Amino acid sequence: MNDALLEISDLRATFGGLHALDGASFSVARGKTTGLIGPNGAGKTTLFNCVTGLLPQAAGRIVFDGIELLGRRPESISRAGLIRTFQLARGCARMTVFEHLMLYGPGQTGEGLVAGLFAGARVKHEEEALREQAWAMARRLRLDHVLDNLVPALSGGQKKLLEIGRALIAKPKMILLDEPMAGVNPTLVGEIAGQLEAIRAEGITILLIEHEMALIERLCEEVVVMAEGKFLTRGSFADVTSDRRVQASYLGRTRA
């Protein structure tokens, strides 16, 4: 695709004799929300781990915004603008919501020892700006009333919102979301969906793993289907859910 932000080609990952990814290939269009679906064991989360540098032993090609990612460390990938969330949103157990948001501000001068010692005015200015960003993000996500709470005290939905917030604080070009609605109270599912729609409206590309098909239909302009570590098909929600191969491998039904 000419407008692809992420291109995955012949991606392979093996654990012992298990081929978790067996030649998966697809691309993700820039500025859109793409759903990634498939049965358990299809290789979706393993693919996320490869893309974000957590499985450096993977083979194939992963190109993000013109940059080859295989062999890069996770921090290098995140600095390039590719950020992910995790299905189990634990956060930093001994940090408050506000501290957690502050942690992910990119390019902070004070993180370097020499600059931290000799660039005091600049460090102070950057920290004040980051505080404003963190406060604004908390208000946006409706977490401002729990800013001083430790992360383990949050509800499942609040933890997922905080995951989204720290991803946005990092100023991403693209976010990989691994089941952002898993374990979330139904009351907050709509809130999270609304936040994801707002992110898309800002031009940030999203690749979303989600098992709830109503949410895939609501949020995703395109859907990619994986099965047995391979690409199966792609298209609109209507296209993929009417595909007999998808019905057989994932949706558990076929049409006469």
For 162, the 3-state DSSP assignment is helix
Is residue 107 in some structural domain? no
Residue 62: φ, ψ to 5°: -135, 115
Nearest to 143 by CA among 207, 91, 75, 79: 91
pLDDT, residue 253, reads: 52
pLDDT, residue 256, reads: 34
pLDDT at 21 exceeding the cut of 90: yes
pLDDT, residue 109, reads: 54
For range 67-89, the mean pLDDT:
92
Residue 186: φ, ψ to 5°: -50, -30
Is residue 31 in some structural domain? yes
Domain span at residue 74 reads 4-93+155-251
pLDDT at 97 exceeding the cut of 90: yes
Expressed in angstroms, the distance from the first to the final Cα of the chain is 34
pLDDT at 221 exceeding the cut of 60: yes
pLDDT, residue 255, reads: 40
For 156, the 3-state DSSP assignment is helix
Is residue 201 in some structural domain? yes
Q: Residues with Cβ < 8 Å from 123, sequence gap 6 or more?
A: 108, 109, 110, 115, 116
pLDDT at 196 exceeding the cut of 90: yes
Edge-to-edge, what's the strand order for the sheet holding 59-64?
18-29, 4-15, 59-64, 67-68
**Residue 50 or residue 120, greater confidence:** 50
Is residue 222 in some structural domain? yes
pLDDT, residue 193, reads: 94
User: CATH no. for residue 205?
Assistant: 3.40.50.300
Q: How far is CA 26 from CA 54, 131, 195, 217, in A?
A: 20, 39, 26, 20
Alpha-carbon span 190 to 175, nearest angstrom: 19
Number of domains into which the chain is organized:
1
Lowest mean pLDDT among 53-62, 114-123, 148-157, 228-237: 114-123
pLDDT, residue 174, reads: 98
Q: Is the pTM of this model over 0.85?
A: yes
201-212 tens-digit pLDDT: 999 999 999 989
Is residue 178 in some structural domain? yes
pLDDT at 32 exceeding the cut of 90: yes
Residues pairing with 177 in the sheet: 208
Is residue 116 in some structural domain? no
For range 148-159, the mean pLDDT:
92
Is residue 52 in some structural domain? yes
Q: How far is CA 3 from CA 7, 70, 158, 200, in A?
A: 10, 21, 34, 16
Reported confidence tier of residue 88, pLDDT bands at 50, 70, 90:
confident
pLDDT at 71 exceeding the cut of 80: yes
**Average pLDDT value over all residues in the chain:** 88
pLDDT, residue 93, reads: 84
The rounded percent of the chain whose pLDDT value lies above 90 is 68
**Residue 148 or residue 87, greater confidence:** 148
The answer to whether the CB of 88 falls within 8 A of the CB of 156 is: no
Is residue 168 in some structural domain? yes
